[in-house]
Structure 1
């Protein structure tokens, strides 16, 4: 136990505790792991407050590598929604990606008046997301910040010791030579 206190001193623990508490308090607590229906890529999304479907959709659009003009796409889906429509990105002749907030009472498929149908896939839907509990996220922020601070202090101490040893060697070389 005494060896542990030699390695980790009280000031280092206090700094680690403060940084851990600060990270747990300030870090965005709403964390999602979401998969895009377009590229099938998965993204880590963080929010300061519980997001609505619109915010989740915007976040996916801005992370989606296959959407080139992200701002224009967000404006287009908002305009389509105001007009009572949905924005679709055509994948092939038989399928498209629906760029609209997920709605459980609307299907993703596009049905035409003449009976034609195009298979639709939501850009994001609840089944393709994992929401991490806020408590666990905050605990992880605390742990990472605490151990990061302790590690950083020890790394700084080691670098300081190493640089002082090299400085001593350098001064001896100058005096001796």
Structure 2
């Protein structure tokens, strides 16, 4: 009986001991700079991220889109976002949101002619990175762009309509 009571009192004291000895969920140290790659179902790119404070930073990306119907067509984009890393209690998870600009260069080839359509417009992004170590993270990010639809008119390609485009992207970053 005495042993049973000792065991019960010992078990009752475990939560208090666990609270004192609980591992810290402190985040990995904030690193100022990272570089990496991003990919979607029809685009590949490189990206860089610079944090000028613990939460605020900028993300720059260059993307080449492929998979057009005509072989000589392609599109390239430059993305610049002001980013904010949302606070969290989990060491592994790094949610981030951003707003900024997107420059697009679309090269077309049709009916014996070719040319380019250039566009500068608004973009935004949000997503979650999973940080597995101090120097590596991967994530799923969504880029939302006020893109355009081009149409062939009078021997040239022109912007004929605006469309909100959504690009889910997988990212791999090496933190320097």
Q: TM-score when scaled to structure 1?
A: 0.26
Larger Rg: 1
Would you tell me which structure has more helix in proportion to its own residues?
Answer: 1
